[in-house]
Structure 1
Amino acid sequence: MTTVEDLLKLLVLEKVNDYVFNGISKTIGSPIVFGGQVLAQAINAATRTVSSQRVLHSMHAYFLEAGNLEHPITYNVTVVRDGGSFSVRRVTAHQNENTIFILSASFHIQEDGYSHQIDMKPGLKQPEELLSWTDILHQYGEVLPKGLKAFFEVKRPIEFKPTKIVNPLDKKDVPPYSDVWFKIKGDANNLDLATKQQILTYISDYNILVSALNPHASKAHWGNTQTASLDHSIWYFRDFDLNDWMLFSVESPSSSGARGFARGNIYTRNGELIASVAQEGLMRPIEKK
């Protein structure tokens, strides 16, 4: 996948009936299905059972088993409630006989009300001043750890630019924060809000656990730590333009018991808060044999 058009071919599911949908998978460099893909595909299924007058405002999900890249995923949608202002859907994802994922999503009619937000961090470098993952691969590919180099080599429909590049060879603990600019590749004009929310959901599973691993970077890295998304929540606040760079600003308040917790905010370039994300992930040290 290299453009938003390729990504939408992945996220827009095949309809079996009004409440059952099938999806395929594409790797992002991992041997298992990317969590962001399952999140976004489940939102695609849920959205297609709700009136277009109702807008997704929150979702909460649990990853139960790792998905197999070779097998299709079936999404079953249950109507939990259609009230005067809110609709709630439950989605379960299956591969063969196994339930691998469950999600609840709530949709709300558009209403006027009070509005406020917290500000974006001041003083962050702009995307034009930063190296992208592609730039890092081209400039430092020969010295990158083998696994990290292979991850960067995967073609993606999104470009990422971290505001700070942590040298994996330094083996120094760093603060539990990360700020990453991202931008979709290709033409994102004429996309409705529901489609943009599905794309944002897909992107939200990138980069979030980095902040939880940072304070342990002197001894922990992706090669000696088993990581996986355990649960994931998103609250969607406002419409947005996907054609410009956006910022995912993440912090990790805590890690313990082989789990790391991270939460973050997604902003437009001009500082408008679009969504908030929270995730707990597995961070299990791999014991040497």
Structure 2
Amino acid sequence: MRDLTAWREHRSGVAASDELVGVLAVEQVSESTFTGHSTTVPSRRVFGGQLLAQSVVAATMTVTPPAVPHSLHAYFVRAGRPDVKFQFAVTTLRDGRSFAVRRVDALQDNEIVTSMTVSLQTPEEGLTHQDPMPARPDPDDLPARTPFLVSPDGPATAGAVDLRACPPVPGGASSSVWLRVNGSLPDDPVLHQALLVYLSDFAILHGAFVRHDVARTEVRTASLDHSIWLQRPARADEWLLYDSHSPSAAGARAVGRAAMFTQAGDLAATAAQEMLVRRLGPAR
């Protein structure tokens, strides 16, 4: 059984990052039940990436090391309330020699907010290839932005995260951003996996807004589902390029696909998400 005490006690000197790490250290109350709370930023809603990351940690706590998550598929069922504690109920679907599968339901007041299926694998060697990392401007040459605070396109950005957007291609449906968690983090690979999941919920649909030249303040959005495949280890406190493309928007929904690379060019993860996107009507 893993001990998350070091996560809760870690101090990087960046309060927002330490709070995030502590929030991901869910508390175990039974063999298959965990509780957790939300970060103070954003203040009026629960960030979906937080729930995904907490659910991944809860699932990982129920398997025997060295098994770690390699994929998850989640639905956002209801909006979470930041002032209400979450319960994470883990159901064992399979325990095999190489793979384990868990379902994790995040609940508030006995209602499911997020439901996830996550597959975990004992590390092993096999065939290896990957797409190359696209050429993008260096993060040091781009303006810094702090998500969930004031940003040019509305409340799309988190105090713990340094986000640097590459210049968009006009008329395209793609987006590239550099991301990292501010401050140094513990070395626990499970924490870094959980934080990759957390970061994967940023900017994945930005290409759809670029394609239609709309600001986040002009539309109502809500994440509907999210999938991620974790291919290679990566540190969340080092720069990660998140390159995304929206292949389609229709029926008041937009789809995004993304690849996350380390600065050295290793493909760490791929992700996909569908989001509700409704244009706001004129003010009455």
Shift of 1:121: 0.8
Question: Is the CA contact (8 Å cut-off) linking 1:3 and 1:184 kept in structure 2?
Answer: no
Question: Is the CA contact (8 Å cut-off) linking 1:3 and 1:186 kept in structure 2?
Answer: no
Shift of 1:224: 2.2
Among 179, 189, 194, which residue is 2:190 paired with? 194
- Partner residue of 2:238? 244
- Partner residue of 1:213? 209
The number of residues matched between the two structures is: 269
1:275 aligns with 2:272: no
Q: Aligned partner of 2:62: which letter?
A: T
Q: 1:223 and 1:255, CA in 2 relative to 1: closer, same or farther beyond 3 A? A: same
Q: Indicate the SS of the match to 1:133.
A: coil
Among 225, 232, 236, which residue is 1:231 paired with? 225
Q: Aligned partner of 1:83: which letter?
A: G
Q: Aligned partner of 2:202: which letter?
A: Y
Shift of 1:27: 4.7
| Unpaired stretches in structure 1, ≥5 consecutive residues | 167-172
Among 28, 36, 47, which residue is 1:34 paired with? 47
Among 56, 64, 73, which residue is 2:77 paired with? 64
Among 144, 147, 153, which residue is 1:132 paired with? 144
Among 156, 164, 182, which residue is 2:167 paired with? 164
Greater shift in the superposed pair: 249-258 or 14-23: 14-23
CA distance in 2, matches of 1:113, 1:151: 38
Greater shift in the superposed pair: 245-254 or 156-165: 156-165
Larger relative contact order (CA 8 Å, sep ≥ 6) = 1
Q: Aligned partner of 2:166: which letter?
A: T
- Give 4+ residue runs of structure 1 displaced > 4 Å after superposition: none
Shift of 1:2: 4.0
Question: Is the CA contact (8 Å cut-off) linking 2:228 and 2:270 kept in structure 1?
Answer: yes
CA RMSD of aligned residues (A): 2.2
Question: Is the CA contact (8 Å cut-off) linking 2:168 and 2:210 kept in structure 1?
Answer: no
Among 232, 250, 254, which residue is 1:260 paired with? 254
Q: Aligned partner of 1:236: which letter?
A: L
Shift of 1:14: 1.4
CA distance in 2, matches of 1:161, 1:57: 27
- Partner residue of 2:22? 9
Q: Aligned partner of 1:231: which letter?
A: D
Q: Aligned partner of 1:78: which letter?
A: T
Question: Is the CA contact (8 Å cut-off) linking 2:255 and 2:275 kept in structure 1?
Answer: yes
Question: Is the CA contact (8 Å cut-off) linking 1:2 and 1:185 kept in structure 2?
Answer: no
CA distance in 1, matches of 2:43, 2:207: 19
Q: Identity rate of aligned residues, in percent?
A: 37
Q: Aligned partner of 1:162: which letter?
A: A
Shift of 1:242: 3.2
Question: Is the CA contact (8 Å cut-off) linking 1:28 and 1:151 kept in structure 2?
Answer: no
Shift of 1:179: 0.5
1:173-226, Cα deviation, whole Å (9 max, x unpaired): 6311111011211112x4222110111111111111211221111xx3212211
Scaled by the length of structure 1, the TM-score of the pair is 0.87
1:120 aligns with 2:117: no
1:221-259, Cα deviation, whole Å (9 max, x unpaired): 212211011000000011123342110000000000000
Shift of 1:31: 2.8
User: What is the 5 A alignment of 1:65-104?
Assistant: 65-104=78-117
Q: Aligned partner of 2:197: which letter?
A: T
Shift of 1:3: 4.5
Scaled by the length of structure 2, the TM-score of the pair is 0.88
1:128-185, Cα deviation, whole Å (9 max, x unpaired): 1111115xx9xxx8xx76x83x666xx611101111169xxxxxx6311111011211
| Unpaired stretches in structure 2, ≥5 consecutive residues | 1-13
CA distance in 2, matches of 1:243, 1:21: 26
1:23 aligns with 2:20: no
1:49 aligns with 2:45: no
